[in-house]
A and B are shown apart, each in its own frame.
Chain A
């Protein structure tokens, strides 16, 4: 009897990952991809995306929900890479320089985002979502109109022929996969980008360590209950801003890693969907709006990307139309986020009404005696 209950609650708590395992299990044989191809793709994408997704963990810790504003960090990373390729800095030095350059931009954007989110407590997610749109406008203003006219950009491979603005795609051919290829190891035909994974491991260690620091503890306290945290003498507003700034800076680094793997920047669209996909991947791994672990990130990336690789081919095999699979994976990404948001909100409401009931009971008892 008890065992059954446990199983049931396990199923309920892990609905999304289980659903994904089922989808992947059905789609993999249909798609007909070989195991080595799949492994290769998944390992590559793990190296490409895990850093970005890890950037989401810190705001979740401080109770600010899914940081849709990580797009801001992605923009910072892109701007840094545009400069680096204009100056023709190649290879690993280029990557390192881009990361350093992205820091001040990320900090600035993150602080702006954090300030605004402090003004919109309780609706952080929708606000951070709109901020990402708003900033996309500013990003276009800077990259499309100010770069080359006000901000010096010289190189013809970066600048539009009209004299200002950046090209639709900026090639990163000279730093393409330079991180991934250094120290890369081949195991049974699967290329493992050891250095990239080392960097990811470093970040994981940092996050584990950070949770135990004073600031990390403060963030968790703020995430639990802002008022209690404030009474305990924590500067809630500052802590929240720091958490968003950290997330933005990490997202900036993550974007540089992501783009060095891709080998080119789609200047006006690379960042636009990145937040959505990262969030979907994290949620697929079993995270929720108020709780996420490093394990969720890894599981999520593997499951989400398996679906992402397999769906178009499987869809084409079943319906004879490759677009079906493309739409299917976009739909699944959105559906997963919707589902996670709904589960989070219903849980929050349940908890609230439970607290209210308890309060009422206590009051009744108090008045009864």
Chain B
């Protein structure tokens, strides 16, 4: 076991982790931050996307030890209470979720994507979110929600 100091959503946490443990397991099993979902656990579905130093990464493929000294932002750190981020707000408004299991991953992929591409077309959004699978197949509403969020962020 290794003792590591992590900076998660602005809080400093000290945990004991296995050398090959992923940040997803550390967050969910040791720190009980279960907003980030564990779905395929092999980099296919994008449900575990989180921001490390403002870059989207897949939690199931990133060793915890590699996150030391970096700023980790999970879905819990995006908004507080009812004050939602525009991407979250439009997902709710447009019905961009059915079971909601892929939603944390969609939000965490869409936020850095819209920062990089402030004026995406529908095809750009499809490409940008192509790593996020929705088992309920509610893609159309998700794409509409991200498009609306992009418009709101631009105004």
Instruction: Decide whether A and B assemble into one complex.
Output: no
Interface of A toward B, CB cutoff 8 Å: none
